[in-house]
Amino acid sequence: MLMAFGLRFTWFEPLLTLFLFLAVVKKGNAGITSSFVRSQWQSFDIPLDNKVFAIPNGYNAPQQVKGMVMMINEALSVHITQGDYDGKAVIISWVTPDEPGLSKVQYGTSENKYEFSADGTVTNYTFYNYKSGYIHHCLVDGLEYDTKYYYKIGVGGSSREFWFQTPPKIDPDSPFTFGIIGDLGQTYNSLSTLEHYMQSGGQTVLFVGDLSYADRYQYNDVGIRWDSWGRFIERSAAYQPWIWSAGNHEIEYMPDVGEVLPFKSYLHRFSTPYLASGSNNPLWYSS
């Protein structure tokens, strides 16, 4: 259920409501929203073998085959979020499936030239019998405003490169376009929402809860659907901050499979700069 802004969607909540609108904060243009309304018809989860869950952009590396000499341990499900209160830092997160590897991000302001590096932390968790990959979170701070940064994760043949743009200096007249997305899930409607958002030119997503809807699944499929959702949003979330808050679908209180720690998957996978923002709760960034 989406509770932000006092909106209630209980009537069509079972249809995996997702909505999106764009807020364009520009001189003389504040408050203009997109007219996009997603289909109200029920849509189903995209099967796991669909290419939307594959690693986007030029992923040609062979799947890992036992006994192969080469270790394929690419960073998957890469996403970034704002890393401080001011917009001069990001937290970069990713998953390496087979071994921890380095929790290092190399970055700089020109492509293929990474002058700086930052070290992060790695965590992992289980959910029922599912074992997560190694989940990395790396704070990259001391950035300049309004600057494009290129970053690289991993080494050698399995490294991957991305970029992001920092926001302009804080000012009432700074133009900035952000999207608000909630209840996204991983259905065919989710895909049309995500594609629409990406075409709209939004620069940062405020995510108002209910991310993957992995809690519709049971047993090991919960973790598997968190992994697929991470790969699903990477096409946007690796290139611009998605600022997180949790919804009821992140609770995943499932005593029947021995999982009683609320927000376990969410807290391991998504970080927020909650301390920098003065929040006392890692579930959300506050301002």
Q: Which is nearer to ligand NAG, 98 or 119 (CB)?
A: 98
Helix (H, G, I), strand (E, B) or coil at 277: coil
Choosing among ligand NAG, Fe ion, none, which partner's interface includes residue 1 (Cβ < 5 to 8 Å by kind)?
A: Fe ion
Contact between 93 and 270 (Cβ < 8 Å): yes
Among 29, 33, 40, 124, binds ligand NAG (CB under 6 A): 124
Quick one: how far is CA 267 from the chain centroid? 12
Residue keyed to tokens 């959702």: 229
* Residue 176 interacts with, from ligand NAG, Fe ion, none (CB under 5-8 Å by kind): none
d(CA 8, CA 175) in angstroms, rounded, equals: 30
* Choices 31-39, 55-63, 123-131, 250-258 (CB under 6 A): range interacting with ligand NAG: 123-131
Give the residue carrying structure tokens 């290092």.
Answer: 104
124 vs 147 by CB, closer to ligand NAG: 124
Nearest Cα neighbor of 250 from 179, 190, 185 is 185
Helix %, strand %, coil % for the chain, to 5?
20, 25, 55
Question: Whose Cβ is closer to ligand NAG: residue 53's or residue 134's?
Answer: 134
Q: Which of 8, 26, 131, 148 binds ligand NAG (CB under 6 A)?
A: 131
Q: Binds 125, which of Fe ion, ligand NAG, none (CB < 5 to 8 A, cut-off by type)?
A: ligand NAG
For the record, the structure tokens of 233 come out as 């949003």
Q: At what angle do helices 221-237 and 188-199 cross, to 10 degrees?
A: 20
Nearest to Fe ion of 210, 234 (CB atom): 210
Phi and psi of 173, rounded to 5°?
-100, 10
CA 87, 248, 13, 234 torsion-angle sign: positive
Site string for Fe ion, 124-163 (x = CB under 5 A): ----------------------------------------
- Of the two residues 198 and 257, which places its CB atom closer to ligand NAG in the complex? 257
Q: For residue 210, state whether it binds Fe ion (rule: CB under 5 A).
A: yes
Residue closer to ligand NAG (CB basis): 131 or 148:
131
183 contributes a contact to Fe ion by CB under 5 A: yes
74 is in the binding site of which of ligand NAG, Fe ion, none (Cβ under 5 to 8 A by kind)?
none
Instruction: Name which of Fe ion, ligand NAG, none residue 257 binds, using a CB cut-off of 5 to 8 Å depending on partner kind.
Output: none
Q: How far is the CB of 247 from Fe ion (least distance, A)?
A: 5
What is the distance in angstroms between the CA of the first residue and the CA of the last residue of the chain? 22
Q: Which two tokens stand for residue 285?
A: 């960034």
Question: Does 125 engage in binding with ligand NAG (CB under 6 A)?
Answer: yes
Quote the CA–CA distance of 108 and 110 in Å, as a whole number.
6
CA separation (Å) from 254 to 15, 222, 259?
22, 11, 5
Contacts of 57 (CB under 8 A, 6+ apart): none
183 binds, among Fe ion, ligand NAG, none (CB under 5 to 8 A by kind): Fe ion
Q: Looking at beta carbons, which residue is closest to ligand NAG?
A: 124
Contact with ligand NAG (CB under 6 A) among 126, 129, 218, 281: 126
> Binding residues for Fe ion, per CB under 5 A?
1-2, 183, 210
> Binding residues for ligand NAG, per CB under 6 A?
124-126, 131
